[in-house]
Amino acid sequence: MRLALDEARAAAARDEVPIGAVVVGPDGRVLSRAGNRVEEHCDPSAHAELLTMRAAGAALNSPRLTGCTLYVTLEPCPMCAAAIVHFRPARVVFGAYDPKGGGVEHGPRLFERPECLHRPEVIGGVAEREAADLLRAFFAARRPPRTRPAPTDPPA
């Protein structure tokens, strides 16, 4: 997860949403690592998970990540969860939970659906605070501060 967090920090430095991912092979060797590149590539599918799974598949010369582990700093979204089903890693380890946009423990809970073709082992909440803090800091720096409207006098 440390390497995935490094990728998330690198993504933030590129003005990308700070999400990082790493694929580790069955032998413990790092096969690939990536951070989000949505803005850089002008590609809404350039999520860290997809980039690193594609690279790991290329490194293995296989469309399947059999026996591999995907580490990602945020619960995968539905798009990435669907891709995970097809890449078929043995396990997915993620950092922060995503109640608004997640597709694994929240939202469609894709791996729990009866028609799901592959159900990886899922471990959530690993380095959760650090991953969530990266996201909070990134968005806090880009959103205007909330101001409360001044109280108004009641009508006379």
Pick out the residues of the known binding site: 47, 77, 80
Please tell me which residue in 7, 16, 49, 105 is annotated as part of the active site: 49
| 121 part of the active site | no
> Which sign, positive or negative, has the C-alpha torsion 130, 136, 140, 145?
negative
Q: Supply the DSSP symbol for 111.
A: G
Distances (CA, A) of 26 to 20, 29, 32, 66, 70: 20, 7, 13, 8, 11
Binding-site residue ranges for Zn(2+): 47, 77, 80
Strand order in the sheet with 121-123: 30-35, 20-24, 69-74, 91-96, 121-123
For tokens 């690592």, what's the residue? 33
3-state SS class at 74: strand
Q: Which of 26, 25, 23 is nearest to 3 (CA)?
A: 23
Residues catalogued as catalytic: 49
